[in-house]
Amino acid sequence: MSSTYHHGDLRRALIDAAVEAIAETGPSALSLRAAAKRAGVSHSAPAHHFGDKAGLLTAVAVQGYERFADTLERSWRRTGDFIEVGAAYLRFAIDHRAYFETMFRPELLHEEDPDLVRGRERARRILYLGSAPAEEGVLYDRRALAAWSLVHGLSSLLVSGNFPPELAADPEAAFRAVAAGLGELRG
């Protein structure tokens, strides 16, 4: 039967299936066989395209980094504001939780994968350097690192359920409130 053999776009279909499954159970509980079943193919079809379980998760992470970097870049261009980019970051973590969780779980990925390295590097460049044009020698902007840490911490705490319940209802508002009052921390 020609419908099963040569699916045509199985790679993409498997990634989509994996993302769905991850959204339900988290990345560490992803099962290759379950993803294969979801895509309607045999249990070892994923291995052919991704080699490995880590290979499939790496492909998910790569796609995640692409969308992530696109989102951040767009937000930078539109607003040029740290706070707004931070809010976009937070929204990405919430709306694309499956991607977000997979991206920051290196023990499940092929860290040396060229596409992954490239995607990560692109996202890092946006986050480290902030609005500063890529000066030679300047490897990071301290303000950007602070902003990144803050919003990544908020996102991680939120996604992992370690957030004050009364703030979890509107995390973006909480983020804006916290960010607006950052100066108080110094005193």
- Stretch of residues binding a copy of itself (CB under 8 A), selected from 11-19, 32-40, 69-77, 98-106: 98-106
38-57: b (≥16 Cβ within 10 Å) or e:
bbebeeebbeebbeebbbbb
Distance CA 2, CA 4 (A): 6
- Stretch of residues binding a copy of itself (CB under 8 A), selected from 2-10, 34-42, 67-75, 144-152: 144-152
160 binds, among a copy of itself, DNA, none (CB under 5 to 8 A by kind): a copy of itself
- Judged by CB under 8 A, the residue of 11, 20, 26, 53 near a copy of itself is 26
Helix (H, G, I), strand (E, B) or coil at 80: coil
Name which of residues 155 to 184 contact a copy of itself (CB under 8 A): 155-157, 160-162, 164, 166-167, 174, 177-184
State the nearest-atom distance from the C-beta of 156 to DNA, in Å.
25
Closer residue to a copy of itself, CB minimum distance, 42 or 180: 180
